[in-house]
Homo-oligomer: A and B are copies of this chain.
């Protein structure tokens, strides 16, 4: 195995996208600790892309072209990673970069940094460009940098369509499914387990609903020709007081992933029917789906120009934040999504370079 030393992020030459990705990996940025990486990105943009207008909200950095343009594209990538798994040090091995965040999604950030420099240097893209380097994607909603900017300075994210450079293996992942978590409480009454008829067993009370949920097949729904394979999963169950006590409480958490043809309310009503018998049901979180928008002119143009496969996005991603504001958005980025969040995370040179080439081609920048 050959290993190569990794340059500082601000100094890394822009032409070598894989080494630039390694320099990004070398700055730790586990969620809620994105400050140093945000600082370095901001400094690099100031030095190397001075003609872009910069803004910062928390640890989210946004760079925008100031050119007049009919239409504007927002290109986004999150700065944060999941916690390290023995893979915090980047390792360049030929044309493969190993390390935390290499696929999810510092390869995408490298593409964004190079686009920023190309555009700032005078290449004139077909669209106004907004580049968003944001914090807090891998953790709870409340920490999400895009959400903060939409709440505090929405004008910074205004645009006609959006691309998030999440790892998709170079495919377009269109739209995204909605996600709904419900917590259901089944109540009972404690008693000695030798005399259960003096109480009521809450775990037994939950059994019919659990059985219905486990048997239910939520099916596949086709939207814009894309098959959205839905899911319904009991992700947690907990009940019990002591081994000799009839339990008075049992709690389930159900996760429903639904196609873009469903609203959150429709999904909720369906799950609540399966949960008949519960004493209380609460919504833990609910995020609407995003339509694939394949017939939107800009999306159609992007898909056609790139000639890449289009697949439905089955997980929920930040594209839904744009969709909720009427802005078509999709995921398209380097890296294999299946290695994200694993100890063996890696990204190839070819994957990063192909993503960059596709974007500069679409934007009409020399590249």
Is the pair A243, B238 in contact by a Cβ cutoff of 8 Å?
A: no
Is the pair A177, B204 in contact by a Cβ cutoff of 8 Å?
A: no
Is the pair B195, A231 in contact by a Cβ cutoff of 8 Å?
A: yes
* Stretch binding the partner chain, chosen from A38-46, A92-100, A249-257: A249-257
Q: Report the copy number of this chain in the oligomer.
A: 2
Please report whether the interface of chain A is mostly helix, strand, loop or mixed according to DSSP.
mixed
Is the pair A207, B211 in contact by a Cβ cutoff of 8 Å?
A: yes
Is the pair A235, B244 in contact by a Cβ cutoff of 8 Å?
A: yes
CA distance A255 to B242 in the complex (A): 11
CA distance A198 to B340 in the complex (A): 15
In the complex, which residue of chain B has the Cβ closest to the Cβ of A255?
B193
A54 within 8 A of B: no
Is the pair B181, A231 in contact by a Cβ cutoff of 8 Å?
A: no
- Partner of A181 from the list B194, B239, B243 (CB cut-off 8 Å) is B243
- Known: A203-B210, A314-B194. Is A238-B235 also a contact (CB below 8 A)? no
- What residues on B are CB-neighbors of A195 within 8 Å? 231, 314-315
A316 within 8 A of B: yes
Is the pair B201, A234 in contact by a Cβ cutoff of 8 Å?
A: yes
- Partner of A243 from the list B197, B211, B235, B237 (CB cut-off 8 Å) is B235
Interface size on A, residues (CB 8 A): 45
- Partner of A211 from the list B196, B211, B255, B314 (CB cut-off 8 Å) is B211
A324 within 8 A of B: no
- What residues on B are CB-neighbors of A255 within 8 Å? 193, 243-244
Is the pair A231, B314 in contact by a Cβ cutoff of 8 Å?
A: no
A50 within 8 A of B: no
CA distance A235 to B208 in the complex (A): 16
A325 within 8 A of B: no
A158 to chain B, nearest CB (A): 29
A121 within 8 A of B: no
CA distance A245 to B257 in the complex (A): 12
- Known: A210-B203, A211-B210, A214-B204. Is A240-B240 also a contact (CB below 8 A)? no
Query: Which residues of chain A from 215 to 238 have a CB within 8 Å of any chain B CB?
Result: 215, 229, 231, 233-238
Q: Mark A273-292, 1 if CB is under 8 A from B, else 0.
A: 00000000000100000000
A195 to chain B, nearest CB (A): 6
A145 within 8 A of B: no
Query: Which residues of chain A from 59 to 89 have a CB within 8 Å of any chain B CB?
Result: none
A191 to chain B, nearest CB (A): 9
- Partner of A238 from the list B177, B196, B238, B244 (CB cut-off 8 Å) is B238
- What residues on B are CB-neighbors of A207 within 8 Å? 207, 210-211, 213-215, 234
- What residues on B are CB-neighbors of A238 within 8 Å? 237-240
- Partner of A233 from the list B193, B234, B257 (CB cut-off 8 Å) is B193
Is the pair A239, B239 in contact by a Cβ cutoff of 8 Å?
A: no
A166 to chain B, nearest CB (A): 13
- What residues on B are CB-neighbors of A162 within 8 Å? none
Is the pair A194, B235 in contact by a Cβ cutoff of 8 Å?
A: no
A204 to chain B, nearest CB (A): 4
**12 pairs across A/B with beta carbons < 8 Å?**
A179-B194, A194-B314, A195-B231, A196-B233, A203-B237, A204-B233, A235-B240, A235-B242, A236-B239, A236-B243, A238-B238, A240-B253
Beyond contacts A240-B253, A243-B255, A244-B255: 16 other A-B pairs, Cβ-Cβ < 8 A, are A192-B315, A194-B231, A195-B314, A197-B231, A203-B214, A203-B234, A204-B213, A204-B214, A207-B211, A207-B213, A210-B211, A235-B240, A236-B243, A237-B237, A238-B240, A243-B253
